[in-house]
Structure 1
Amino acid sequence: MSRTQWYWPVVVIWLAGIGAAGQFAKISVTFDQIGLLYPEAGASLGFALSILGTAGILLGVVSGVLASRIGIRRTLIGGLALSAVVSLVQAMGVSFDAFLVSRVIEGLAHLAIVVAAPTLIARVAPEEKRAFSLTLWGTFFGVAFALFAWVGRPLVASYGVQAMFLAHAIWMAGSVVAVSLLKLPEDAPSAPGGLSLRGLLRRHWEIYRSPFLNAAAVGWLFYTFCFVSLLTLIPPFIAPEWRTFTVGAMPFMSMVTSMTLGVWLLRYLSVLQVIVCGFLASAGAAAMLLILPGAPLVCLIFAGALGLIQGASFALVPVLNETAADRADANGVFAQAGNLGNTIGTPILLGVLAVSGYGGMIVVILAALLAGAFAHLGLARARARKSVIR
C-alpha cells in the first residue's frame, strides 16, 4: 500500500468502528424509547444493553484466535455484514425475546469488528503514523455516542426506534461495501494448533501470562472500570445548572485530549509512558474530586486525563506484538478486558457508594487508577526480564 494513501483505509475502518460502537450507543442513548417499544420487558429491559458485552467477556480471546485463522480482513467484513443483518431484523419489529437473541448475535459481530479493525489499522498505517492512526481508532466509542445523541435521538423522536435500527443497518451495510473495496492485506490462517477446547484453553493461558500480549488489556480493564462507572454515577453530585453540559462534555473532552495532547506527547514519550502519565494524571484529578466534589472543571480535567489512556492503549498492541496473529490475540483479550471493566465497574462502585458515600466511591476510583499505572510498570519490568533471558 502506498505510504501516501494509508489515511483512506484508516478512515474507512474508523467509520466502520463507529458503527460497531453504535451497537451499544443505539440502545444506551435511546434507552427510554426502547422501554416504550417493549413495555412488557419490565426489569429485563436492562439486558438489552448489558447482554451485548457477554460475548466479549466470554469469547474475547477466542475471537482473536479465530480471526487469525479465518483472516483478519474476512473477519472484519463478516462482522460488519452480520451487524447489518441483525440491525435490519431489529428494524422489522420483533418480540422482546427475539430482540435479546439478536443482541447476543450482535455481540458476536461487535467482537469480530473490534478485534479485526485495530489489527488491520496497525497493518496499513506506516510505522511513523501507526500511533496516530490507532489513537484515532480509540475515539470511535465516544464519537458514536455523540453521533447517536445528536442525530439518533431526533431521528427516533420523528420516526421511531425502528427507523434508527434501519439507519444503523444502512451504515453497517455501507461499511461492508467500503471495506470490501479497499485493498487491505489478507493473512493466511496462521494461528498454531487446532481449535480443540484443550488448544483454546492453552492459548488463553499463554496470552494471560504473557506481558507482551496482555499488557494493553490489563490497563484497559482499570480504565473501563473507572470511566463508564464515573460517567454514570457522578451526575447527581454535579450542580444542576452544570450537570447536562458537564456530563455531555466529558466524553468529548476525552476524545479531544486523546487526539491533541496525546498525539503531541507521543512525539516525545513512548506509548507506555503516555499511558502511565494518563493514569497518574487521572488519579490526581480523582484526588481533586475528593476535595471539590462534583466540580465541573475537575470532572472535565479527569475525563481529559483519561483520554491519554484511551488512545495510547490501542497503540500499545502493535508496539509490543509484531505478527498479525499476536496482535489479533492481544486485541481479543483487550476486548475481553474492556467488556469486563464496563460490566463490573458500575455495580461495584454503586455498592461502594451505598455503603461509603461519595468519598468512598472516589477513593476506589483513585485506587484503581493507581493500580493501572503500577500494573503497567510491573508488566514493563516483566518484559525487560524476558528480553534479557532471550
Structure 2
Amino acid sequence: MQTRWGAIFALWFAGLCAAGQFSKVGVIFQELAAIWPEAGTRLGLVVSVVGAVGIVFGTTAGLIVARAGARRIIIGALVAGAGLSALQCLGLPLGLMIASRVAEGFAHLAIVVAGPVLIAGAAAPRDQAAAMTLWSTFFGLAFAVTAFFGLPFAQAHGASALWAVHAGLMLVAAALLAVVLPRETILPAPPLQPGTVLRDHLAIYASPRIAAPALGFVFYTMIFVAALTLVPGLVEPRLRGLTAAVMPLLSIASSLGLGVQFTRRIGAVRTAQIGFAVGALAAAGWAVTSGVAQVGAAFLLSAGLGFVQGASFAAIPELNDTPASRAQAAGAIAQLGNVGTTLGTPLLLALTAAMGPQAIAAFSLPLCLGGIAMHLWLSRRRARA
C-alpha cells in the first residue's frame, strides 16, 4: 500500500478548520464583549459550549462514524460547519449564537472523530506515526494561525468577516475531501439504541486497546491547555511574551520531530510514556528554579507533552486494526480530551490562587506520573490478554 499524502494533507486541513471553530472565537474573545455587552459571564459559553458537546457525545460519535462511514460523516460535518459559520455572520443575538455553537459542537465532534480514522486508512503502516502526529498538531496550529492572521483581520473588519472566511475554508475542505477520498463500503450494523449505546460505551472503556489512547490523552489535555493559559502569567514580565509564543510551537516541533522518530522505533505507547517522563522532570525543575531557568522548565514541559500529543493519536491505529475500533478509539479521545481541556484550566487556576507559581509543579507532576502509570497498567492488561 502507498501512502496517499494528498488525502492526508486534505484531512489535516479539515482538522485545522475544525479547530478554527474554537479559535475563531477564543482568539478574539475580548472583541466579543463589544458585540454582546449584556452577556456578562454567559459570554464564556460562546467558547466552551462546543467542547461540552464532545464531553457528552464523544464516544457516541465514534459509534455513529463506525456505522455511517467516516467519509460521509466528515464531508457532511464540514458543510454543516460552513453553514453555521455563515449564519453567525448575520449578527445573531447571544441566545441564538450559543445555540448555533451547540450545533457547531456536533459538527466539530464529527470531524475530529472521523479524521483519525480516514488518516490511518490513507497511510501505509510505515507512515502512520508521521501521519497521525501531523493530525495531532491541528489544534495548536489553528490557534497560532488565527492569532497571527485572524486577530488583526477581525480587528480591522469585524468578527463577522473572520467567520465568513472560516465558512469559506470549511467549504473548500469539504470539496477537497469529496475529490480525494474514495467512496466507502458501509457494512450493515445494528441501529443505535439507548441500551446498545450504554453497552458499547462500557465495552470501549473496558478494552485496553480501544480505550488506551484516550485514557493516556486525558492526562495530557488536563496539563497542556491549562499550562498554555496560565504559565506565561507566572514568569517574569519580561519573559511572558516569549513564553506564550514559544510553548505551543515547541510542542508542535517536538511532536513532528523526535516524537515521530521515537514512535516509529519504539511504538506510540512508549513514546507517550517518555513524553510524560520528560514532563515530570520539567515539573520538578519548575519547582526548584526561577527566572530564565523556570522558563526553560516550561519549554521542556511543552516539548515532553508534544511527544504525548502525537503518540496518543498514533496509538489509535497501532493498537486497533479495524475502521470500527479506530472510530471508537477516536471518539473516546474526543470525549476524554474535552474532559481534560474543560477541567484542567479552572483546577490549575484554583491551585495557583492557593499556592502561587508552585502550583504548576504540584499540578503537572502527579498528572505526568499518572499518565505513565495508566499506560503501564493498560500495557500489562494487553499482555495478559
Please state if 1:352 is matched with 2:351: yes
Shift of 1:185: 4.8
Query: Please, which of 196, 199, 205 is the counterpart of residue 199 of structure 1?
Result: 196
Query: Which residue number in structure 2 is paired with residue 121 of structure 1?
Result: 119
Please state if 1:262 is matched with 2:262: no
Q: Write the distance in 2 (CA, Å) between the matches of 1:251 and 1:357.
A: 23
Give deviations 1:33-64, integer Å, cap 9, x for gaps: 11111111111101111111111000011101
Q: Do the aligned residues in 1 keep the contact of 2:78 with 2:111 (CA within 8 Å)?
A: yes
Query: Please, which of 228, 244, 247 is the counterpart of residue 247 of structure 1?
Result: 244
Query: Please, which of 173, 176, 189 is the counterpart of residue 175 of structure 1?
Result: 173
Shift of 1:354: 2.2
Q: Do the aligned residues in 2 keep the contact of 1:217 with 1:337 (CA within 8 Å)?
A: yes
Amino acid at match of 1:46: G
Query: Which residue number in structure 2 is paired with residue 216 of structure 1?
Result: 213
Shift of 1:293: 4.2
Tell me the secondary structure at the aligned position of residue 40 of structure 1.
Answer: coil
Q: Write the distance in 2 (CA, Å) between the matches of 1:364 and 1:152.
A: 32
Q: CA RMSD in A?
A: 1.3
Tell me the secondary structure at the aligned position of residue 287 of structure 2.
Answer: helix
Q: Write the distance in 2 (CA, Å) between the matches of 1:142 and 1:41.
A: 28
Please state if 1:372 is matched with 2:371: yes
Shift of 1:301: 1.4
Query: Which residue number in structure 2 is paired with residue 229 of structure 1?
Result: 226
Give deviations 1:303-340, integer Å, cap 9, x for gaps: 11110001111000111111101100110011000000
Give deviations 1:122-155, integer Å, cap 9, x for gaps: 0011111111000100110111011100110111
Query: Which residue number in structure 2 is paired with residue 70 of structure 1?
Result: 68
Amino acid at match of 2:363: V
Q: Do the aligned residues in 1 keep the contact of 2:51 with 2:338 (CA within 8 Å)?
A: yes
Shift of 1:352: 1.8
Q: Which moved more, 1:274-283 or 1:262-271?
A: 262-271
Q: Do the aligned residues in 2 keep the contact of 1:27 with 1:49 (CA within 8 Å)?
A: yes
Query: Which residue number in structure 1 is paired with residue 137 of structure 2?
Result: 139
Query: Please, which of 272, 275, 280 is the counterpart of residue 283 of structure 1?
Result: 280
Q: Write the distance in 1 (CA, Å) between the matches of 2:226 and 2:370.
A: 17
Query: Which residue number in structure 2 is paired with residue 302 of structure 1?
Result: 301
Q: Write the distance in 2 (CA, Å) between the matches of 1:298 and 1:364.
A: 14
Q: Do the aligned residues in 1 keep the contact of 2:126 with 2:264 (CA within 8 Å)?
A: no
Over the matched positions of the two proteins, sequence identity in percent amounts to: 40
Q: Which moved more, 1:179-188 or 1:221-230?
A: 179-188
Query: Which residue number in structure 2 is paired with residue 363 of structure 1?
Result: 362
Q: Do the aligned residues in 2 keep the contact of 1:258 with 1:311 (CA within 8 Å)?
A: yes
Query: Which residue number in structure 1 is paired with residue 163 of structure 2?
Result: 165
Runs of 4+ in 1 over 6 A off after TM superposition: none
Q: Write the distance in 2 (CA, Å) between the matches of 1:160 and 1:353.
A: 35
Tell me the secondary structure at the aligned position of residue 264 of structure 2.
Answer: coil
Give deviations 1:152-173, integer Å, cap 9, x for gaps: 0111111011000000000001
Q: Write the distance in 1 (CA, Å) between the matches of 2:132 and 2:116.
A: 7
Q: Write the distance in 1 (CA, Å) between the matches of 2:141 and 2:319.
A: 27
Shift of 1:267: 3.4
Q: Do the aligned residues in 1 keep the contact of 2:275 with 2:305 (CA within 8 Å)?
A: yes
Shift of 1:190: 4.9
Query: Which residue number in structure 1 is paired with residue 383 of structure 2?
Result: 384
Amino acid at match of 2:221: T
Q: Write the distance in 1 (CA, Å) between the matches of 2:290 and 2:374.
A: 28
Q: Do the aligned residues in 2 keep the contact of 1:18 with 1:144 (CA within 8 Å)?
A: yes
Q: Would the alpha carbon gap of residues 91 and 384 (structure 1) be closer, same or farther in structure 2, given more than 3 Å must change?
A: same
Tell me the secondary structure at the aligned position of residue 39 of structure 1.
Answer: coil
Give deviations 1:339-385, integer Å, cap 9, x for gaps: 00000111112222222333244212110110001100110000111
Query: Please, which of 175, 180, 186 is the counterpart of residue 184 of structure 2?
Result: 186
Q: Write the distance in 2 (CA, Å) between the matches of 1:364 and 1:259.
A: 26
Q: Do the aligned residues in 2 keep the contact of 1:61 with 1:333 (CA within 8 Å)?
A: yes
Give aligned pairs, total: 383
Q: Do the aligned residues in 2 keep the contact of 1:190 with 1:325 (CA within 8 Å)?
A: no
Shift of 1:240: 1.1
Amino acid at match of 1:226: I
Q: Write the distance in 2 (CA, Å) between the matches of 1:199 and 1:240.
A: 54
Shift of 1:183: 3.4
Q: How does 1:90-101 map to 2 (within 5 A)?
A: 90-101=88-99
Q: Write the distance in 1 (CA, Å) between the matches of 2:310 and 2:99.
A: 32
Q: Do the aligned residues in 1 keep the contact of 2:129 with 2:264 (CA within 8 Å)?
A: no
Query: Which residue number in structure 2 is paired with residue 79 of structure 1?
Result: 77
Q: Write the distance in 1 (CA, Å) between the matches of 2:232 and 2:126.
A: 40
Query: Which residue number in structure 2 is paired with residue 317 of structure 1?
Result: 316
Shift of 1:266: 2.5
Q: Do the aligned residues in 2 keep the contact of 1:124 with 1:184 (CA within 8 Å)?
A: no
